[in-house]
Amino acid sequence: MAPLSYPIVPRLLYGALLCLALPLLAAHLLYRSLRQPAYRRYFGERLGLYRASSLRPIWLHAASLGEVQAAAPLLAALRAAHPEAPMLVTCQTPAGRQAAESLALADCTVAYLPFDAGVSVRAFLRRFRPRIALVLETEIWPTLFLQVRRAGIPLLVLNARITERSLRRYRRLGIFRHALAMPDAVLCQSASDAERFRAAGARADAVSVGGNLKWDRPSPVAPAGAAWPQSPVWMAASTHPDEEPAVLAVHQAVLRAFPDALLLWAPRHVERFEPVAQALAQAGMALRRRSRHGAPEADTRVFLVDTLGELAGFMPRSDLVFVGGSLQAIGGHNVLEPAGFGLPVLVGPHTAHFSDSVAALQAAGGLLQVADAEGLARQVLALLGDPARRAVMGHANAECVAASRGALEKTKALVAQRLVGVG
Residues annotated as part of the active site: 67
Task: Give CA separation, 58 vs 120, 141, 216, 336, 357, in Å.
Answer: 20, 19, 21, 28, 29
- The span from the CA of 423 to the CA of 411, in Å, is 20
For residue 400, report the phi and psi dihedrals to the nearest 5 degrees: -65, -45
Q: Is the bond preceding residue 232 a cis peptide, omega within 30 degrees?
A: yes
Task: Give CA separation, 169 vs 37, 146, 163, 164, 166, in Å.
Answer: 32, 19, 10, 9, 5
Evaluated on CA atoms 6, 7, 9, 10, the torsion sign reads: negative
